[in-house]
Structure 1
Amino acid sequence: MLRRHGHNAAVMVKSPRLPSPLPYSRQVAIFSRLQASEPHPQTELNFTNPYTLVVAVALSAQATDVGVNKATKDLFARADTPQKMLDLGLEAVTDHIKTIGLFRQKARNVIALSRMLVEEFGGEVPDSRAALMRLPGVGRKTANVVLNSAFGYPAQAVDTHIFRVGNRTRVAPGRDVDEVERAIEDNVPARFQQDAHHWLILHGRYICQARRPRCGVCPINELCPFEEKTA
């Protein structure tokens, strides 16, 4: 990265060097313990099919899973396919999700993505990341959640919890979510890839919390190199 001084001078500033990921044997030990504590991890968003999962994840941006589940309970009872959502209409969708953040824009996205699914994909949710990311309101993280939880692909959906845990534990260090995603894919043993992001997000949500990690009850405490552990 270049930092300029005065009119002509430029000084090269190096980005902070990332610590090395944990070695293979330590990765196996950590994920074996996470697996033992939660053998069958799943997303905490409620859904009934790939379409309702797309909608739920798209709605979850800047909102809690609990809040999204409350908002979608009645919505999905009335509209669990793209065509039913279009028939329901923008006003009704907006009213169903008005308790979550950015609900007006999210309602427009739900209608727009539903229309695209009907018109371009025959009403079916595609199992391609590129195709999913064409849908309004669907980014890489949402696409990866759908690929993993709806279609069974070992895609890694990195959020703030996974970013924090990946760096603290050095399971998957990275400067941004894309680097952490690649680090998980490159370093986590293949047998744990399918559920890796579920274990990491649950660990970050309930144990390795941002302000005060619960190190005293952490199942990987002595395997974790994080220096600022709590008593």
Structure 2
Amino acid sequence: MAQLDTPETTFKRVMLKISGEALMGPQGYGLHPPTVERIAREVQTVHDMGVEICMVIGGGNIFRGLQGSAQGMERTTADYMGMLATVMNALAMQAALEQLKIHTRTISAIPMDQVCEPYIRRRAVRHLEKKRVCIFAAGTGNPYFTTDTAATLRANEMACQAIFKGTKVDGVYDKDPMKHDDAVRYDTVSYDDCLGKNLKVMDATAIALARDNNLPIIVFSLDEPGGFKGILAGQGTYTRVQG
């Protein structure tokens, strides 16, 4: 079992990246409110530790640009549709967090002033300093970039100390553990190995951006109750991607 060598008190600001599929629960599509609420409670436990939290949520539960492109839709249009899906997910998570009395801001890379704030870095930093959760939506605002890349970009801009990638498995494996019983989990793995072995932690652009800025990526299971808080406390099972 890996142990973080950094005490929980040194993690002052982190990025939590989750997929849109994480919000759809057992129904296989869209938003599953009990699942959204469960994840919000996981975020609450870390917020209560005094950690400043950024979030990026994918849009694959509603629309994925690459799938639309594969079905004949023009790629740029498909990607913009995917960005709008991330805004819907961000608003759902914001509502769930505010039900828990956590002040939250949805910040979009595509201006839509009626529903969320535009992305202004200094303003976002100020929200974090005031212990508000900031959910960054609409990716980078550009097609051809994934929400993995957006999460890494925003994590660097916000001076986060790590990206926490919540998945359905408890770390990075040498092959898909859902399909292969002999899959081996890494305690730690380098950025270059992730790229060279195509380990599917994040897309290559995100991994390279994290590597170039020495930003660790911690991959853990979001389905494990208390997992997010536990990993920050140095407990649980996870993989740390680092130089």
Q: Give the alignment's TM-score, normalised by structure 2.
A: 0.25
Higher relative contact order (CA 8 A, sep 6+): 2
Which structure has the greater CA radius of gyration?
1
Larger strand share, 1 or 2 = 2
Larger helix share, 1 or 2 = 1
Q: Give the alignment's TM-score, normalised by structure 1.
A: 0.26
